[in-house]
């Protein structure tokens, strides 16, 4: 870590980067998680003597663009989750202002937040993912359409119904019949204009942190609850104590397969610096990728720091690795990398 810290400081010095800003907050359903991620990363950067500033985008108000420019930012560390940070908007603003930033560019960010579009790209490139139905606001979905789709794909209830452009499992419902499906669509429409319907996979839920071009070891998410209907929702992620995280017990070949698929999946979307890919393995040991999170949470309960911990990467080193990856992309100094 000492060498990594020196490399980061060398990049900053050589390129006159004096003002690092952690952007967080925003004004959407993931605001609170974003604030927590931002504060955690800010404290870590402070600990590494990078003299950051913490900016809650929402607090800038109507003149946010001008106020960002007034802050004279040399490098932005984006910790905006959901529609403020993962849909390409903040990336477009920073590109316009010629401010380097951590994480993926505008287009990959916009694609990654759109689960349906991401899955289309994956399917075209033989990445295993689940069949789905996309329902747009104003469209009428009949029981016949749902049941014909289920019959075609040999699917039975329950189904997963979720907003197409949201994160943190916000608005996700487990539906056991067509009545619950239609009710769940209405619930998801409270968060987004597009709703995704997928099979509910019976099996193991895994997540893989992706860092600077490589997959870390897969992590399994286990819900320790007598309630069989409990799943890894917003409450399980950030509030309750029923969630356990374990290094996934996989054969060497399956572990390698998953990491290779995740690497390819991130490459196809154009992901940069860091991300998290969520997936399922069913009882037949078939893999199904769900989504890629281009700016995953960095709170004390978030999956990327936990996965990094299993790879003996502590939080401060993880933050430095993300910043280092971005600096390498913007300022390629081979003499620094050799140190």
Distance CA 280, CA 129 (A): 9
Residues contacting residue 293 through CB under 8 Å, at least 6 positions apart: 86, 112, 167, 275, 276, 277, 278
> Catalytic amino acids?
30, 168, 238, 276, 278, 291, 293, 297
How many CB atoms within 10 Å of residue 182?
17
For residue 274, the surrounding DSSP H or E stretch is strand 274-282
First to last CA, the chain: 12
Go through 3-19 and write b for each residue having 16 or more CB atoms within 10 A of its CB, e for each that does not.
Answer: ebbebbbbbbeeeebee
Residues contacting residue 57 through CB under 8 Å, at least 6 positions apart: 23, 24, 25, 26, 27, 64, 80, 84, 90
Which long-range contacts (C-beta less than 8 Å, at least 24 apart) are formed by 116-123? 116/164, 116/194, 116/196, 118/269, 118/291, 118/292, 119/289, 119/291, 121/268, 121/269, 122/265, 122/268, 122/289
């Amino acid at each position: 870590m000492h060498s990594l810290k020196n490399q980061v400081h060398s990049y900053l010095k050589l390129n006159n980067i004096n003002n690092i800003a952690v952007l967080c907050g925003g004004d959407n359903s993931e605001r609170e998680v974003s604030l927590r991620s931002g504060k955690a990363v800010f404290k870590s950067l402070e600990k590494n003597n990078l003299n950051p500033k913490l900016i809650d985008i929402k607090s800038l108000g109507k003149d946010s663009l001008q106020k960002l420019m007034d802050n004279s930012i040399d490098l932005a560390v984006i910790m905006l989750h959901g529609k403020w940070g993962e849909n390409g908007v903040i990336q477009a603003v920073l590109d316009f202002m010629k401010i380097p930033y951590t994480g993926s560019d505008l287009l990959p960010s916009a694609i990654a937040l759109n689960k349906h579009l991401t899955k289309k790209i994956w399917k075209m490139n033989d990445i295993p993912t689940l069949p789905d139905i996309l329902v747009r606001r104003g469209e009428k979905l009949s029981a016949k359409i749902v049941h014909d789709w289920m019959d075609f794909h040999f699917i039975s209830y329950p189904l997963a119904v979720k907003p197409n452009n949201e994160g943190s499992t916000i608005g996700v419902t487990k539906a056991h019949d067509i009545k619950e499906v239609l009710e769940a669509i209405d619930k998801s429409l409270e968060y987004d204009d597009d709703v995704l319907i997928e099979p509910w996979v019976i099996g193991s839920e895994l997540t893989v942190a992706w860092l600077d071009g490589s997959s870390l070891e897969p992590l399994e998410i286990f819900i320790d609850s007598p309630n069989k209907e409990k799943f890894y929702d917003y409450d399980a992620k950030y509030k309750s104590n029923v969630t356990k995280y374990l290094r996934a017990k996989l054969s060497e070949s399956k572990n390698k397969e998953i990491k290779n698929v995740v690497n390819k999946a991130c490459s196809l979307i154009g992901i940069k610096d860091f991300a998290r890919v969520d997936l399922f393995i069913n009882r037949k040991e078939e893999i199904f990728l769900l989504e890629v999170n281009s700016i995953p949470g960095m709170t004390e309960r978030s999956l990327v720091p936990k996965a990094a911990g299993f790879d003996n990467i502590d939080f401060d080193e993880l933050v430095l690795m993300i910043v280092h990856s971005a600096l390498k992309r913007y300022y390629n100094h081979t003499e620094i990398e050799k140190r």
